[in-house]
Amino acid sequence: MTRLPLTLKELGGALFKAFRLRSTPPQPGETLKEWGNRAIGPAVTSKIISTAMLGIYASDASELSATSILGRLFNRNQITVKGKLRGTVSAEGGLGVLLSNLRSHLLSRGVTIQTSCHADSDTVLAARSAGPVILAVSAWQAASILADAAWSPALKLLAEKLSEIESIGLVSLTLFFNSKPPRLGFGTLFSQTPPHGEPDGILGCLQNSEIFEGRVHQSSHAVLHSETWILGGRSRGEVILEHSDDELLKLIFEKRDRLIQSQSHERLVGHDISRWPRAIPFYSTAHEQLLPELDNVVDGTILFGNYLGDLGLASILERTRELSRKVNSI
């Protein structure tokens, strides 16, 4: 592992090309790898961009749509969310606190929240009498809800488009240790392409206790160290999801012993494993072609979700502002 995988020559060439990036926007149908090779060079593309994309989109740059991933960076009219804080920030106490406070705020404004409700096309039809319907669910849930909308051929067609969106499977393992490793940092990403990396399905590791204070509690016996490992992705997701808990731990410990700290298993205090067969959408060039048909108001129904091209809280906040304007214009 290294903080800077580029040679001095590669770094110099990348810095020179970086000044011209604004003049090299991605082209329709262009993959991120094709754009990277054209705009900033093969070295940066293979060693940095491709590896970084594994940590964000769980896919290789050769499969991702450059327009979907980078388009907003070249859009001078994009909405920006301004705040007082800079750098890496989070809600004090975690995102669970943020969601709890948001719920309390909405209830104080008279919003009605119903949980454990079944939703189908009839639900959408009944809700349309009160105004626009916003489906803020996954692409595949939206497809299921709208598939039986016999009263609206346009919505049935929209359901067919939604069902074409591919998904990516991921697994996360949060591990707790009784000591800090000698190599500390925010985290690391692992390339899946030789010779820079190995195709083992381990995409990255975040050292939670090094990112924000208070993420790991002290016990009477030791100061615990916490890490979250992400596995799966476009190429290995299905295989990784089939692994047992013991197989996943063995896979991680082999890598952790070699790269971070020896005798990992002996230092382990506890672990938590989560599996997501459909974690995130696959932002391919085929997905890029679907976006114009999804990002419209169809028969009083508006779709809202990360499959529309926004992955990450900041991007979703931007789209929320756009949604507000879209609803008010109907």
Coil, helix or strand for 268? Answer: strand
| CA distance readout (Å), 16 to 9, 33, 60 | 11, 19, 25
- Which residues have a Cβ under 8 Å from the Cβ of 19 and sit 6 or more positions away? none
CB 272 within 8 A of CB 226: no
Per-residue pLDDT tens listing for the chain (330 residues): 888 888 889 888 888 888 888 888 999 999 999 999 999 999 999 999 999 999 889 999 999 999 988 887 777 555 555 666 666 667 777 778 888 999 999 999 999 898 888 888 888 888 888 888 999 999 999 999 999 888 899 999 999 999 999 999 999 999 999 888 998 888 999 999 888 889 999 999 999 888 877 666 655 456 688 999 999 999 899 999 999 999 999 999 999 999 999 999 899 988 999 999 999 999 999 999 999 889 888 988 999 998 988 777 777 778 888 888 888 887
Question: 88-120, pLDDT tens digit by residue?
Answer: 667 777 778 888 999 999 999 999 898 888 888
Residue 104 CB coordination number (10 Å) = 9
Of the candidates 81, 65, 76, 80, the one whose C-alpha atom is nearest the C-alpha of residue 23 is 76
Q: Residue 48, class by beta-carbon neighbours within 10 Å (0-12 exposed, 13-18 middle, 19+ buried)?
A: buried
Q: Which residues pair with 230 in a beta bridge?
A: 172, 204
Q: What is the pTM of this model?
A: 0.84
Structure tokens at 99: 């969601």
Q: How far apart are CA 289 and CA 286, in angstroms?
A: 5
Kindly report, residue by residue over 217-259, the tens digit of the pLDDT: 655 456 688 999 999 999 899 999 999 999 999 999 999 999 9
Residue 259 makes CB contacts below 8 A (sequence gap 6+) with 1, 183
17, 23, 29, 30 alpha-carbon torsion, rounded to 10°: 0
For 238, residues 6+ apart whose C-beta sits below 8 A from its C-beta are 169
Q: Coil, helix or strand for 223?
A: strand
Task: Give the strand pairing for 301-303 and 133-135.
Answer: parallel
Give the whole-angstrom CA distance, residue 145 versus residue 208. Answer: 37
pLDDT at site 328: 83
Cis peptide before 181 (omega within 30 of 0): no
Is residue 161 within 8 Å of residue 293, measured between CB atoms? yes
- At 130 the pLDDT is 86
CA distance linking residue 249 with residue 214, whole number of Å: 25
Domains and CATH numbers, the chain: 8-74 (1.10.3110.10), 95-166+283-328 (no CATH), 181-264 (no CATH)
| Spatial distance between the Cα atoms of 296 and 307, rounded to a whole number of angstroms | 14
**Any bridge partners for residue 280, and if so which?**
168
- Long-range contacts of the stretch 146-150 (C-beta < 8 A, 24+): 146/121, 146/301, 147/121, 148/120, 148/121, 149/121, 149/124, 149/125, 150/121
